[in-house]
Structures are given as structure tokens and as C-alpha cells.
């Protein structure tokens, strides 16, 4: 069931109770948890926070820690599962779910109250009606009595009519559920929802607002939500920025947090890198200037010269650039947008500063948190990374934020290098209904690129690079399937599917297609990710899986 009043039906209910929090290891979930923990600290709410990395891990952690808790909160995990059947909670346990994954499992929607959904229903979700997918037990019994009653009634006309009606109802139900579940997508940021609760409780501060901005910005940068949704949600945050930052800066304590809304350049870590490196490692500009080739490097140098920025300055760290040149960068980019067809280089974003420390764009913090959560080899501890990311968001941990930014640089370089290694020899293959690429085993750094968020980032980077190199106009209208080695010892690979570049709805049909393909081909698989467009398969089944996917989508 959906919670209509966050304060009365959620926060007031758990206010004087112990809460078990299971949080997904993604940036928006970490920001959401940070907001909630700040409010819990103010109200002395007792809690236990456990990171979860997948469905199996959530099941294990719930069973290990749920004893003694009447209230459980799931952050960005669980809403796509039948939670009552999956977790089998005790009758006195209430599970609250704040999860942006879509579509929502229908059994959670129509649960009688033990499963409570904090995100409000979105009109775009097109939720099926209760009577279209569930039949009352009384009608089931009457059907059973009619169909399996005494032998003398087996040819009774009314029994045959009811049998036909039931068959038609089942067929209609299957069509409705298929239509409802055929695409996977994302709703609005959970961090935005948590800040809404803070505002209702009159606990909203600039710190909480900033964390919600970081969470929402991650949704946009990761291509999880469409541009219109981001603009709408960001405009709501901009209203809060104006409300909470109305006091002139010179009248505030030096250590206070100040937030400004800006129209900024969508370049990776620009304020913490060189202009040349930032352009090179941003997927949009890498695509526009074809930076995966020698010709692209020359084109970029010509672009910088046309901007009037000396190559020496573009190779200088941003903070050490000539101030006059640095301050003019947004203006000169805007002046050349139409000439170089880079109209999407700007986006609405936010900037923060506290004390005399460096200014940070929300996108920079997003990339620092994401790298902290995922940038590591096969021995990387994903659970500890969630606690590190929570610490990174605190203002008192500026060194951890700077370290996260350095990790983000390393991650961006690893993604670009891998994309270049794939695109230069033209390893992207068109199979008609989709493009696909297989990363071979034996690459030393591949473990840094196969975790669930960064492998999707790599897939988007590869797709945009292929579009820039391809002569076919259809390239931008085709989705991409990427297969990468996950665990060589266990013989596992991860498969990710992303929608076409030109599809701005961000709806992904690969989740349904993958699950159908493994059933048709009898591939050995594991669906453990919260995003259904990611799946693990046995490496030796790659060819069989691809053939089955082609057959399904052709």
C-alpha cells in the first residue's frame, strides 16, 4: 500500500521505535540515508544501518538482523520484489520501502498494510486495477465448485460459461501484467523524497538540501531519469535553495554552507582537473569531437584554439589557470555551441561552498561518492564503501571528499581507456535489433569496471563513442548490449543492456528480454541486481545467450 502522509504514516510511527535500515550501495541511496540519519539523530531514533548489494544479500541480512525489530526500512531496494513472499516477515513487522526502481511489484501495491511504499504513485506508472489482476477467494471457490462439482453437473452450461470467463480473465491478466512490466525505469530521487519529509518536519537545512541535490543530480548524470523529470525536480530544489539561502553571504558565519543554483558546463570534474582532461573524459564531448581517434585529438585542439584558450592553459589545472581565461570559459563555450553542435553541454545544476574551502559542483560530489562506492579491484568491500560514502558527505571530512574526487578521476580514465580499446578496433557489432560488444577475459583492470553502476557508465560511453564513429544514421536508434567478464575463476560474466541514445524516455526493455532469453535458451544465470537490465550468466553461455536474444528481438 502507498503511504499518503509521510509524517503521520511513516515518521510518527517509527519515532520511538527501533528501525532496521537496509540501504542499497548507490549514490542516491547513500544521500537518502544521510538525510534520514540526520533526522533520526535529532529525535533519538534508534536504528541499525546495513548496506545490501543485491537480492540474495538483502535476504541474508534481513534474516540475520530482523529479530527484535518491528519496523524495517528499505532504501532503493526491494520494491520490484514480492516482499511478503521473499522476506516472509513476522505478522508484527511493518516494512517501509523508499525505492525509485520501477515498475513496482503489484503485490506490494495491494498489500493490506505490512508492506508500505513511501514513494507516491506516479501517473506515468499506469498501475493495473486490483480487480484486473486479483480474484476474490469467494469467486475462486464458486468456480471450483462449478467446475469440479458432481458429475451430473459437468456439462452444465453455467459451468462452461464460468470456465470460459475465467480463461478470458487469465488471458487479460497476463496481457495487463506484461504491458505493466515490459519496461524497467526509475522514478524520482529517493533523496528528494527524504528532504520532502524533512521539510514537513521543519528540519530542513542547507546540509539536508545539499544531499538531496547530490542524489537527484546522480539520477540525471547516470541517465536514470528523463530530462524533463530532472528539470522539474531541480526546479523544486531551486525554490528551497532560494528560501534557505536568502541571507547575504557577508552576514553568515564563515563556516556556514552556501548553495547557489547555476547553469554549468556538464564536464567531468572540471573544477578539479584540467580543461583538456575534463573534455576528453566527458562522454558527450568525447562523442562530439570523436576523441577516440587521432583526428579527434586534432579537432579538439582546433576547438580550443577557436575558443581562444591557449593549449598551455587548457593543460593547466583549473584552479591554476589564468583567472581571466578561466572566468570566460562558460561564455566562450556558449558562443561556440551552435558551430560545434554542442547545445547540450550546459545543464542546470547547483554549487556549494562552506567556509574558505573549495567550491564544489553537485556533479563533482556525485562522481566522488560513486567512485567511493565502486572504484576498487576484486577485493573491494562494497559494504564498507557505503559507510565511507556516508562519511564523505559530511562537511567535516573534506579530505575524504578530495580523495573521492581523485578516485573519480581514476575511474573516468579507466572508462575512457576501455572505451577507446573497444572503439578503435571497431569491436561494436550490429546484429539488426541491437548493437553488442564483448570484452574479452584477461584484461588486468576489468574488475574496476564491472560493478553495477560503472559498467552502465561504460556502456553509455561506448554507445556514444560508436555513434560518433559510425557512418550509419541508425546507430543512435539502436540499443546496446555489453558483456564483460565478472569473475574469471567462477566463469561468470555480467550483461548490461541500455536503451538507444535517441530514446530520451530512459525506459529499458532489456530486463524482460534477458529473463525471457535465459528461459528460452536454458542459460545458467543469476538475476541479483536491483536493475533488471543487468544479469549474470556463465561465460561459456555467451554465444547461446546472444543468439537467443537475437531470435527474441528480431
Give the whole-number percent of the chain exceeding pLDDT 90. 78
Other beta carbons within 10 Å of 7: 13
- 3-state DSSP call for residue 443? coil
* Residue 365 within a domain: yes
Same domain? For 37 and 118 the reply is yes
Range of the domain at 47: 1-122+187-246
pLDDT for res 525? 94
**What is the Cα gyration radius of the chain?**
26
pLDDT for res 250? 67
Among 395, 415, 435, the domain boundary falls at 415
Please state, in angstroms and rounded to a whole number, the distance separating the CA atoms of residues 398 and 420.
33
- 3-state DSSP call for residue 484? strand
* Residue 166 within a domain: yes
pLDDT for res 110? 93
Same domain? For 391 and 499 the reply is no
Whether the per-residue pLDDT at 516 is higher than 60: the answer is yes
Same domain? For 341 and 431 the reply is no
For 16-43, the pLDDT digits (tens) are: 899 999 999 999 999 999 999 999 999 9
Cell numbers found for residue 460? 553509455
Please state, in angstroms and rounded to a whole number, the distance separating the CA atoms of residues 301 and 108.
55
- Segment 79-88 mean pLDDT: 95
Residue 27 backbone phi and psi in degrees, to 5: -65, -45
- In the numeric block, the cell 533520526 is attached to 40
pLDDT for res 131? 87
pLDDT level of residue 312 (50, 70, 90 thresholds): very high
- The number of distinct structural domains making up the chain is 4
Please state, in angstroms and rounded to a whole number, the distance separating the CA atoms of residues 438 and 431.
13
- Segment 301-328 mean pLDDT: 92
- In the numeric block, the cell 542499497 is attached to 24
Same domain? For 346 and 475 the reply is no
Give the whole-number percent of the chain exceeding pLDDT 70. 95
pLDDT for res 144? 46
Same domain? For 208 and 327 the reply is no
- 204-241: string of b/e by CB count within 10 Å (b at 16+)? bebbbbbbbbbbbbbbbbbbbbbeebbeebbeebbebb
Residue 280: closest CA among 261, 299, 262: 299
Whether the per-residue pLDDT at 375 is higher than 60: the answer is yes
For 94-105, the pLDDT digits (tens) are: 999 999 999 999
pLDDT for res 249? 65
For 145-194, the pLDDT digits (tens) are: 444 455 555 556 777 888 888 888 899 999 999 999 999 999 999 999 99
For 444-483, the pLDDT digits (tens) are: 889 999 999 999 999 999 999 999 888 888 999 999 999 9
Among 365, 381, 415, the domain boundary falls at 415
- Segment 125-129 mean pLDDT: 85
Same domain? For 374 and 277 the reply is yes
Other beta carbons within 10 Å of 441: 12
Same domain? For 305 and 223 the reply is no
For 324-337, the pLDDT digits (tens) are: 999 999 999 999 99
Please state, in angstroms and rounded to a whole number, the distance separating the CA atoms of residues 527 and 124.
26
Same domain? For 176 and 191 the reply is no
Please state, in angstroms and rounded to a whole number, the distance separating the CA atoms of residues 454 and 484.
12
Residue 328 backbone phi and psi in degrees, to 5: -90, -5
Same domain? For 349 and 448 the reply is no
Same domain? For 544 and 465 the reply is yes
* Residue 252 within a domain: no
| Higher-pLDDT residue of 213, 249 | 213
Whether the per-residue pLDDT at 143 is higher than 70: the answer is no
Say how many Å lie between the first and final Cα of the chain, rounded. 38
For 245-302, the pLDDT digits (tens) are: 887 766 677 678 899 999 999 999 999 999 999 999 999 999 999 988 878 888 999 9
Cell numbers found for residue 503? 530514446
Residue 367 backbone phi and psi in degrees, to 5: -70, -35
pLDDT for res 420? 92
The β-bridge relationship of strands 257-265 and 346-354 is antiparallel
Q: How far is CA 484 from the centre of its chain?
A: 19
pLDDT for res 142? 47
Residue 106: closest CA among 87, 89, 85: 85
Sign for the CA dihedral angle at 196, 229, 350, 366 comes to: positive
Tell me what the pLDDT averaged over the chain comes to. 91
* Residue 18 within a domain: yes
Among 379, 395, 415, the domain boundary falls at 415
pLDDT level of residue 141 (50, 70, 90 thresholds): very low
495 and 455 Cβ atoms separated by less than 8 Å = no
CATH code at position 465: 3.10.310.40
Helix, strand, coil percentages for the chain (3-state, nearest 5): 55, 15, 30
DSSP 8-state secondary structure symbol assigned to residue 5? -
pLDDT for res 125? 77
**pTM for this entry:** 0.93
Other beta carbons within 10 Å of 40: 19
* Residue 421 within a domain: no
pLDDT level of residue 49 (50, 70, 90 thresholds): very high
Residue 117's contacts (CB-CB under 8 Å, 6 or more residues apart) are: 1, 2, 3, 79, 97, 99, 104, 108, 109
432 and 530 Cβ atoms separated by less than 8 Å = no
* Residue 251 within a domain: no
CATH code at position 241: 3.90.1640.10
- 3-state DSSP call for residue 536? strand
Please state the length of the chain: 554
Same domain? For 106 and 225 the reply is yes
Please state, in angstroms and rounded to a whole number, the distance separating the CA atoms of residues 269 and 422.
24
Amino acid at each position: 500500500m502507498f503511504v499518503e502522509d509521510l509524517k503521520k504514516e511513516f515518521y510518527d510511527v517509527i519515532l520511538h521505535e527501533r528501525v532496521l535500515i537496509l540501504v542499497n550501495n548507490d549514490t542516491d541511496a547513500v544521500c537518502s540515508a544521510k538525510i534520514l540519519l540526520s533526522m533520526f539523530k535529532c529525535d533519538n531514533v534508534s536504528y541499525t544501518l546495513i548496506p545490501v548489494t543485491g537480492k540474495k544479500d538483502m535476504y541474508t541480512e534481513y534474516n540475520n538482523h530482523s529479530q527484535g525489530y518491528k519496523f524495517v526500512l528499505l532504501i532503493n531496494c526491494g520494491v520490484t520484489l514480492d516482499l511478503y513472499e521473499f522476506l516472509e516477515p513476522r505478522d508484527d513487522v511493518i516494512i517501509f520501502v523508499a525505492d525509485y526502481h520501477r515498475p513496482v511489484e503489484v503485490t506490494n501495491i495491494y498489500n493490506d498494510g505490512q508492506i508500505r511504499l513511501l514513494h507516491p504513485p506516479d501517473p506515468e506508472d499506469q498501475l493495473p486495477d486490483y480487480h484486473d489482476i486479483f480474484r476474490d477467494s469467494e469467486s475462486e471457490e464458486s468456480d471450483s465448485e462449478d467446475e469440479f462439482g458432481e458429475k451430473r453437473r459437468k456439462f452444465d452450461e453455467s459451468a462452461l460459461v464460468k470456465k470460459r470467463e475465467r480463461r478470458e480473465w487469465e488471458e487479460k491478466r497476463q496481457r495487463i501484467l506484461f504491458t505493466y512490466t515490459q519496461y524497467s525505469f526509475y522514478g524520482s530521487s529517493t533523496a528528494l523524497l527524504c528532504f520532502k519529509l524533512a521539510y514537513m518536519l521543519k528540519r530542513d537545512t542547507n546540509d539536508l538540501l545539499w544531499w538531496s541535490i547530490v542524489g537527484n543530480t546522480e539520477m540525471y548524470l547516470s541517465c536514470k531519469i528523463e530530462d524533463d523529470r530532472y528539470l522539474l525536480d531541480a526546479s523544486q530544489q531551486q525554490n528551497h535553495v532560494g528560501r534557505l539561502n536568502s541571507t547575504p553571504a557577508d552576514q553568515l558565519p564563515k563556516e556556514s554552507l552556501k548553495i547557489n543554483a547555476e547553469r554549468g558546463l556538464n564536464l567531468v570534474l572540471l573544477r578539479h582537473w584540467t580543461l583538456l582532461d575534463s573534455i576528453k573524459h566527458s562522454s558527450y564531448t568525447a562523442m562530439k569531437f570523436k576523441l577516440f581517434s587521432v583526428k579527434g585529438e586534432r579537432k579538439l585542439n582546433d576547438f580550443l584554439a577557436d575558443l581562444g584558450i591557449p593549449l598551455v592553459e587548457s593543460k593547466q589545472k583549473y584552479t591554476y589557470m589564468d583567472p581571466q581565461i578561466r572566468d570566460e570559459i562558460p561564455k566562450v563555450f556558449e558562443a561556440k555551441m551552435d558551430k560545434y553542435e554542442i547545445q547540450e553541454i550546459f545543464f542546470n545544476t547547483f554549487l556549494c561552498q562552506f567556509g574558505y574551502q573549495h567550491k564544489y559542483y553537485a556533479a563533482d560530489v556525485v562522481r566522488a561518492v560513486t567512485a567511493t562506492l565502486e572504484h576498487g579491484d576484486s577485493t573491494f568491500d562494497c559494504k564498507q564503501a557505503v559507510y565511507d560514502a556516508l562519511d564523505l558527505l559530511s562537511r567535516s571530512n573534506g579530505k575524504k571528499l578530495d580523495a573521492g574526487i581523485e578516485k573519480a578521476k581514476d575511474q573516468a580514465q579507466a572508462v575512457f581507456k576501455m572505451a577507446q580499446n573497444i572503439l578503435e578496433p571497431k569491436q561494436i557489432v550490429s546484429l539488426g535489433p541491437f548493437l553488442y560488444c564483448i570484452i574479452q577475459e584477461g584484461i588486468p583492470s576489468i574488475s574496476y569496471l564491472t560493478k553495477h553502476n560503472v559498467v552502465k557508465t561504460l556502456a553509455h560511453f561506448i554507445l556514444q563513442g560508436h555513434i560518433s564513429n559510425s557512418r550509419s544514421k541508425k546507430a543512435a536508434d539502436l540499443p546496446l548490449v555489453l558483456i564483460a567478464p565478472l569473475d574469471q575463476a567462477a566463469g561468470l560474466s555480467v550483461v548490461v543492456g541500455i536503451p538507444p541514445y535517441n530514446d530520451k524516455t530512459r525506459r529499458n526493455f532489456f530486463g524482460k528480454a534477458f529473463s525471457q532469453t535465459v528461459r528460452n535458451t536454458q542459460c545458467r544465470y543469476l538475476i541479483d541486481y536491483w536493475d533488471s537490465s543487468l544479469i549474470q550468466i556463465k561465460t561459456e553461455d555467451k554465444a547461446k545467450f546472444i543468439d537467443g536474444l537475437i531470435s527474441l528481438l528480431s
